[in-house]
Structure 1
Amino acid sequence: MTSSGYTLPVWVAAAAVAAVQRLRGEPLSSSAAPEVLLQLQPDADAPEPPLVAVAVEGAALLGPDRALGISRCEPGDGLDLTRGLAVWVEARWAELLPGEAWLQLKAGEGVGVLAGSAALCLSAFARALLACNLQPLLPDGCGLRLRITLPGGRQLAQRTSNEAFGVVDGLALIGTQAAVQRSADPDQLARARAELVRRAADPALATELVLVIGENGLDLAPSLGLPAPWLLKAGNWIGPLMVAAAEQGVERLLLFGYQGKLIKLAGGIFHTHHHLADGRLEVLTTQAALLGLPLEQLQRLARAASVDEALRDLAAADAAAARALQQQLAAAIEERSAAYVARHGQRGLRIGAVLFDRARRLCAQGPCGAELLQAFRARDLG
């Protein structure tokens, strides 16, 4: 049995399947070490996709039409705040009304919702994972309601940047794949390089690429019209992956990510894990000085607690200056990235940068980034 190294959506799906099995009157596979079988690739084309055994803690009926399934997160090796987190999913049958979705989800305690609403913050992958594993278990003409609870999730969320990205009250379910990937793990770089080699053999994908920084970027990009087949998660290995992309024949590369991460590239920092290098406020202040901002504003930028706070305070005092500084950052990211790739002997790659802020809004585009963003969106529409 393989049950370690999975993202939070997998453990939610496992608890949900366990609950629905109890609703159907089916026992779990083993009382000593209960587990459920999950399809972990909801977009798989195989007629009979492989199933993987995932551990659960148990399931119980709460009434004639209600059941509770419980799992516990095991994200594998490395630091991860979800380790040991209990996942409770309450399932109940629902009458399937015309025009109503068969799967209805509700956020319980500890689950993140979008600020200003009760809408569960759920990635497309997480929803598809639930759907592909639960729909085969439903009786004909029947819907399903799930209430997801993460005991302790509200407290854990305070250690993340969820709230800054517009997610409140708990942890977001925004994983984009089943397996946990460490953004600073050398194996993650090797996997990304292998994926570049695979894409290089596909004429439709060989020359264009969007390097996405982080899970929030990977979740946000498709909603902004960036075609999913061109997306590749870079993690913190941005510099080596740009060089590898050029080596594999990529001609147009768009960097898409949170401004507080990509700003490091404007300072010549191309492995962005905070344990290795930071300097974000120093880079911001330098770019502001090159823009000609007065000394008093430079001092306030340098003393801010974060890039977002610095730009927010600058915008309150001079909105035009803040917008100009963000645009200058995007242009500097493009220039330094092109120079980095050229130093490694690769000169045929055009690099653009598009930045979003913690409200998940596009906030800056470099000259090349604006062009590539429009072109990639057009490809998606075509």
Structure 2
Amino acid sequence: MATTSAFSGTGLTLPVWVAAAARAAALVLGGSAAPSSVDLRIPSEQGLRRVEVHTASLLDGGQKALAISICDPGAGLDLTRGLEIWVLVCRSSSGEGLQIHAGEGVGRLEDDGSLCISGFARELLELNLSDLLPVLGGLDVEVVLPRGRELALRTSNSAFGVVEGLALIGTQAEVQTSASPDQLQLARDRLRELTAQTGFAGRLTLVIGENGLDLADQLGLSDQQPLLKSGNWIGPLLVAAAESGVRQLLVFGYHGKLIKLAGGIFHTHHHLADARLEVLAALAVQQGLSLESIRALLQTASIEQAWCWLQAHDLEQAMGLWMAVAEAVEGRSEAYLKRYGCTGMRVGAALFNRDRQLRWTGPEGRKMLRYCSVQLHPVASDSDQGPSLR
């Protein structure tokens, strides 16, 4: 019989709180009393985790059940803290299987309107509702985040094509804050593992975030050299990589994140520093853009909007400016390394946009991508001006 871990009241990711509310609602729909907590099975973990539920009740004369949990991501800065999660569960009209629906405040993919949910989050729901299906038959599960649409405006979701609310993403049960020292230590441990492997050739790709990790894998970078996910601790990991024998490091990430490195900001969490448009404007001055253009860039709401505005007005200037950003990332990174006595590692930069298209590199990044047989994506409106790495 599975054992239950000590009560897990804090430090859990959003998918866990969703699964807890979903299980509580399904239990009530099946005739159980409203629970104050539920025992959850976590993929790839032994035993059960007990997770608190705020409330649960039958609705519509017993035809539906609603349960509410309240997200507690633990210590650290997290916008989901105190977020109410409502999950409505009813028997499926088809009578079989499990259907998960995005209600109000839950993120959808802009391309097709489908629920934005990670494999881990989906598996978590399936794992914790499957034992109730033989009794209840098929279940329709609707997740509602009453403040999700509002909170999503404070994230970069829209930069990756997620609209209308918060995405149900996450790859594990426990929160690992990208700005925490623990996350840095995990990355350092993983770096040591990678560089100690037999056949390590001194080349490494440092990816920024889950989107960078996924895109780098799709482009085949992982077939050519190891990938290391950095989170926001980019500066210390640059030094650690140089000290671990890395000779060529490709920094690969979203342009709205990596532009901070071009301004000398090497811990990139938005709670600590954010001068992205100001960095862009400074580089625009160096590139000779007009005062009117620079003012227009500073008035945009995001880095992506700044790129789109300049692209529409002068594609050649836009490409030149963003190549300058990538080159500045490389230059600032090497200057950072020299400050700590590390001179034997070359740093290349490769930036992708909100459409997950690899668009810009610095000189070193271009060499490294050519080695990996990866090409830049041409600009759709004028593909002849898109740089080629052939």
Q: Structure 1 residue 11: deviation in Å? A: 0.9
* Aligned twin of 1:337: 333
Gap change, CA 1:226 and 1:172, over 3 Å in 2: farther
Which of 3, 14, 19 in structure 1 is aligned with 2:20?
14
Q: How far apart in 1 are the matches of 2:72 and 2:257?
A: 27
RMSD: 3.5
135-144 or 51-60: bigger deviation? 135-144
1:68 and 1:252, CA in 2 relative to 1: closer, same or farther beyond 3 A? farther
For these two proteins, the number of residue pairs brought into alignment is 365
Separation (CA, whole Å) in 1 of partners of 2:218 and 2:280? 28
Indicate yes or no: 2:214 matched with 1:244: no
Q: CA deviation at 1:18?
A: 2.5
Is the alpha carbon distance of 1:335 and 1:85 closer, same or farther for their aligned partners in structure 2, counting shifts above 3 Å?
same
Contact kept in structure 1, 2:30 and 2:136, CA below 8 Å: no
User: What do the CA deviations read for 1:282-322 (whole angstroms, capped 9, x no partner)?
Assistant: 43233334434345434444555543333222112101211
Q: What one-letter code is carried by the residue in structure 2 that aligns with 1:7?
A: T
1:120 is displaced (CA, Å) by 0.9
Q: CA deviation at 1:89?
A: 2.1
What is the rounded CA distance, in whole Å, between the counterparts of 2:242 and 2:206 in structure 1?
A: 12
Equivalences for residues 213-232 of structure 1 within 5 A: 213-218=208-213, 221-222=216-217, 224-225=219-220, 227=222, 230-232=226-228
The unaligned stretches of length 5 or more in structure 2 are 1-6, 375-390
Identical pairs, percent: 55
User: Which residue number in structure 1 is paired with residue 49 of structure 2?
Assistant: 52
Mean Cα displacement is larger for which, 349-358 or 105-114?
A: 349-358
Q: CA deviation at 1:325?
A: 1.6
Q: Which residue of 1 aligns with 2:108?
A: 113
Higher alpha-carbon deviation: 293-302 or 14-23:
293-302
Contact 2:30/2:135 (CA < 8 Å) preserved in 1? no
Is this contact kept in 2: 1:175–1:215, CA < 8 A? no
> SS at the partner of 2:141?
strand
TM-score scaled by structure 1? 0.80
Matches of 2:320 and 2:73 in 1, distance apart? 41
Q: Which residue of structure 1 aligns with residue 121 of structure 2?
A: 126
Q: 1:38 aligns with which of 37, 41, 54?
A: 41
Preserved contact between residue 159 and residue 304 of structure 2 (Cα < 8 Å)? no
Once the two structures are TM-superposed, the CA of residue 204 in structure 1 deviates from its matched residue by 7.2
1:27: Cα distance to partner? 5.7
**Structure 1: 5+ residue runs without aligned partners?**
none
Alignment partners' CA distance in 2, 1:274 and 1:86: 24
Aligned counterpart, 1:176: 171
Say whether the 8 Å CA contact 2:23–2:38 is kept in structure 1: no
Q: 1:254 to 1:84 in 2, by over 3 A?
A: same
Kindly state the Cα deviation for residue 372 of structure 1 after the two structures are TM-superposed.
Answer: 4.6
Residue 200 of structure 1: how far off its partner (Å): 3.9
Contact 2:207/2:252 (<8 A) preserved:
yes
The match for 1:354 is 350
Paired position in structure 1 for 2:75: 77
Q: CA 1:143 to 1:368, structure 2 compared with 1: closer, same or farther past 3 Å?
A: farther
- Code of the residue aligned with 1:84 in structure 2: it is G
User: How many angstroms apart in 2 are the aligned matches of 1:374 and 1:220?
Assistant: 17
C-alpha spacing 1:133/1:254, structure 2 compared with 1 (3 Å): farther
| Inter-partner Cα distance in structure 1 for 2:50 and 2:199 | 35
Measure, in 1, the Cα distance between the counterparts of 2:38 and 2:17. 11
- Three-state SS of the structure 2 residue aligned to 1:37 is strand
